[in-house]
């Protein structure tokens, strides 16, 4: 969410800068927008990594349970 808010703030600064002719404000807004996009992508990557780790943990637990079951049958 932080990335989305930063993108909106950046777009607002760009718009105000464009209306007032303030190129510094336009540039600042562009930088804020890009920073927000980067934060959003990092958050998405983090979520994906967490999903992969959870799936790997589940598979490892299943493998351990399978081995335990096999050992108890003997």
Q: Tell me, what's the pLDDT at 56?
A: 98
Neighbours of 3 (CB within 10 A): 18
Q: Tell me, what's the pLDDT at 74?
A: 65
Contact 30, 10 (CB under 8 A): yes
Q: Tell me the C-alpha distance between 19 and 31, whole Å.
A: 18
- What six digits make up the tokens of 41? 């992508």
Q: Is 31 helix (H, G, I), strand (E, B) or coil?
A: helix
Q: Is 6 helix (H, G, I), strand (E, B) or coil?
A: helix
Q: Tell me, what's the pLDDT at 2?
A: 77
The residue ranges of every structural domain in the chain are 2-73
Tell me the pLDDT tens digit for each residue of 19-57.
999 999 999 999 999 999 999 999 999 999 999 999 999
Q: Tell me, what's the pLDDT at 38?
A: 97
Q: Tell me, what's the pLDDT at 73?
A: 82
């Amino acid at each position: 969410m932080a990335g989305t808010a930063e993108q909106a703030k950046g777009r607002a600064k760009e718009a105000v800068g464009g209306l007032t002719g303030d190129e510094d404000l336009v540039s600042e807004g562009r930088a804020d927008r890009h920073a927000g996009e980067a934060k959003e992508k990092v958050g998405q990557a983090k979520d994906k990594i967490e999903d992969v780790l959870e799936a790997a943990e589940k598979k490892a637990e299943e493998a351990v349970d399978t081995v335990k079951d096999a050992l108890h049958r003997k």
